[in-house]
Amino acid sequence: CSAEIKASPLTQHERLERHAAIRYEYLPETIRHCVCAYLPSVVQEALFFGADQYMEGTTMANFGYGIPKAQLMAGDAMNRALTRMAHEMMEQLDLKNMVFVGIRRRGVPLAQRLSDIIEKYEHIKCPVGEVDIAMYRDDRDPSELKIKVQEQKLPVDVAGRTVVLVDDVLHTGRTVRAAMDAILDQGRAERICLAVLIDRGHRELPIRADFVGKNVPTSTAERIGVMMEEIDGGDGVALYEGGMAR
């Protein structure tokens, strides 16, 4: 990997940054957070995404989040969390009567990954659908929305089935409430479960996730940024300054 960096047409400063990213991958996660706080922002980008994605040009500037306060998950940690969640579903749910429904946007690729993991271990293909909550939000009049509401894409009739609703971050619970309304408009599901990659707390409705990748205590002045390979070109979860309504 060092030979590859030396051969690339980079400045000495850029080579040092990328060397740092490669070395950083071998540090324990608890030490990473301490080290990252004292590094230049450009180097922090390389450390957050990892050497491979950084070399491909993936940076936080692509997402408009800024520089994170802390890295919560890298790609490998995300995959481990999803695998654990999928195994919990295998133990608790009837897979043959189950359908995943991802909340647009990042809930959709998360739902697909969970389905793929279950298929890998159990050889059962769970259908994956997606839901658009725009018309079900309680903070805006639908007539005022300046976006095109997309049709719900559910691969099967949800009536009588176990629906696993999937989202990236669980915060106030209002997004989940809207998604449940959208699903129930399509039929009376036997059961609706909730799977989230990150639960950050601050609930405003009595909603709890059944399957959680990671619980992250936050303040209302912070927000969680989730990046997915399918949408953003890289995997990662980080904590940022600045509140975000959910």
Distance separating alpha carbons of residues 40 and 47, to the nearest angstrom: 11
Q: Which position has the higher pLDDT, 12 or 140?
A: 140
Please give the average per-residue pLDDT across 22-40, as a whole number.
51
Q: What is the pLDDT of residue 68?
A: 79
- Reply yes or no on whether the pLDDT at 16 is more than 80: no
- What does the pLDDT look like over 215-235, one tens digit per residue? 999 998 898 999 999 998 889
Q: Which of 13-17, 119-123, 140-144, 235-239 has the lowest mean pLDDT?
A: 13-17
Q: What is the pLDDT of residue 241?
A: 84
- Reply yes or no on whether the pLDDT at 240 is more than 60: yes
Residues 6+ apart with CB under 8 A from 136: 178, 179, 181, 182
- What does the pLDDT look like over 141-191, one tens digit per residue? 656 554 454 556 787 889 999 999 999 999 999 999 999 999 999 899 999
Q: CA neighbours within 13 Å on the CB side: how many for 153?
A: 11
- What does the pLDDT look like over 89-135, one tens digit per residue? 999 999 999 999 999 989 999 999 999 999 999 999 999 999 988 88
Q: Which position has the higher pLDDT, 67 or 129?
A: 129
